Amino acid sequence: MNDPYQTLLKKVHETHDIEKAIQVLSWDKETNMPAAGNTARIQQMTTLRRLRHHIFTSDEMGELIEAAGAELNGVDYHSREASLIRYLRRAYADERKLPDDFVQRVSKVSGEAHPAWVQARANNDFAHFQPHLEQVIALVQEMADLYGYEDEKYDPLLDKFEHGMKTAEVHSIFQVLKEGLKPLLAAIAEQPDAVDNRILHQHFPVNKQQEFANYIATAVGYDFSRGHLGTVVHPFATSFSRDDARITTRWNPGFLNAALFGTLHEAGHAMYEQGTDPGLARTPLARGTSSGIHESQSRMIENIVGRSLGFWQAHFPRLQGLFPQQLGGATAVAFYRAVNKVQPSYIRVEADELTYNFHIILRFELEQAMLEGDLKVADLPTAWNDKMQALLGVTPPTNALGCLQDVHWTRPGFGYFPTYALGNLYAAQFYEAMTAQNPAIAEDMAQGDPASLVAWLRENIHQHGRKYTPAELVQRATGQPLTPHAFMRYATRKFGELYRL
């Protein structure tokens, strides 16, 4: 458009490319790198993070942002140029608050904490991870102070993942979920044998699971010509561009759900990135607008699509053909009921749609307690188990099945966990809006065809990337702010039918 904007864009491309190079190193670190390479890899990633931070927070970058902003004054609010200036101003102000040495310490501590967590989880040895988590907590506390806050210390951390949302708002939403879901869970608990999921707990050879994972990801719309499926300890998705959005899963030969729904979940994340407007490439706008909105896309594909009756009526024959001994005597309806069984469990990523939210509430409350210094890291295992019992009525028999199960606390990412539950709410609200706008979507879903659903997501969510804040995006797509009530209606209807309540 104009010289100041084009000059800024070149600098944005530079910092973006460095960030993506870091992600490539991170991907390799978790999927292919030999363990002995960890020290050198931490050094490489730390150098790149320091370099990117130094460039992005320079006086020159600030001057470029303001010069381009002045030239673009009056440009349409919805244009990618105006959206980029808005985003850069906010991100620049935030990152300037973090000194270079702090960024380096974050990279070093996180790099060392991850392999320690992997070992601790494998050996059920919380003491091995404890000193690393204590360092992460110290960094999180320092980060909150560096960002600054008016109300709660958790606010600036939450804002980095769900811009514009306050801790008090999350508390309010989670309270509605607690009050709304507990009676439903209690009613379901009175008939624990109403849904039988034993067919999921058999021997399923991993090579056949891998074949079906590739098939099912393609069926929901994940483009393997621009993607890849890898194997990790804790599943994740990452993108280096809209044409290179990768997913991972883990394989459990004794339980089909782990890989199946892990693949669908991560495919939903990657499809978001694959669907961004090509015009946003090599800028920070070519990402999901927030962690909660991003999570809504993975939960949409995993649950609303992947756990629907129509979907399994369409695709169960293919699964049955791969596992004739295990599933030969089952029906699509029986399988649909099995994958939707509500049963409190230890592992978050394997939880059903209803109890999943309580796993997130638990982590949210523990994060706040550790951040404020009300909970010592040494006491985390006991606090975790106590909350599991209070919220879900189960107590993990080991720390590996309890407070060591998630990778997230290997890095100072407090504020991220609440967005998992927010994603469920966004997903239900999007689905309610899209089926009201276009009833054919529900009809297609009943036939196991998610193409019209994905098309709505492409038009209303994916293409915009980070052009809008999460509050703006949900308002544009649904005509109202985020509310927990669409999820409550969805859950009550679905599980009321499943359990004949």
pTM > 0.85? yes
Q: pLDDT tens across 295-316, in order?
A: 999 999 999 999 999 999 999 9
User: How much is the pLDDT for 1?
Assistant: 47
Question: Is the CB of residue 353 less than 8 Å from the CB of residue 211?
Answer: no
Q: Which of 486, 463, 489, 493 is nearest to 476 (CA)?
A: 463
For the question of residue 266 being annotated catalytic, the response is yes
Region for 415 from its dihedrals, namely left if φ exceeds 0, alpha if ψ lies in -120 to 50, beta otherwise? left
What are 373-404's pLDDT values in tens digits? 999 999 999 999 999 999 999 999 999 999 99
| Crossing angle for the helix pair 291-299 and 470-478, to the nearest 10 degrees | 40
Distance CA 104, CA 312 (A): 48
pLDDT band for position 142 (50/70/90)?
very high
Confidence at 192, pLDDT banded by 50, 70, 90: confident
Cβ(295)–Cβ(268) below 8 Å:
no
Catalytic residue among 30, 81, 162, 266: 266
- On whether the CB atoms of residues 402 and 396 are closer than 8 A, the answer is yes
Tell me: the pLDDT tens digits for 242-275? 999 999 999 999 999 999 999 999 999 999 999 9
Give the Cα separation of 347 and 262 in Å (integer).
Answer: 13
How many other CB atoms sit within 10 Å of the CB of residue 498? 17
pLDDT given at position 2: 55
Residue 474: phi and psi, rounded to 5, are: -65, -35
Q: With b meaning 16 or more CB within 10 Å and e meaning fewer, what string describes 228-244?
A: ebbebebbbbbbbbbeb
State the Cα–Cα distance between residues 382 and 372, nearest whole angstrom.
18
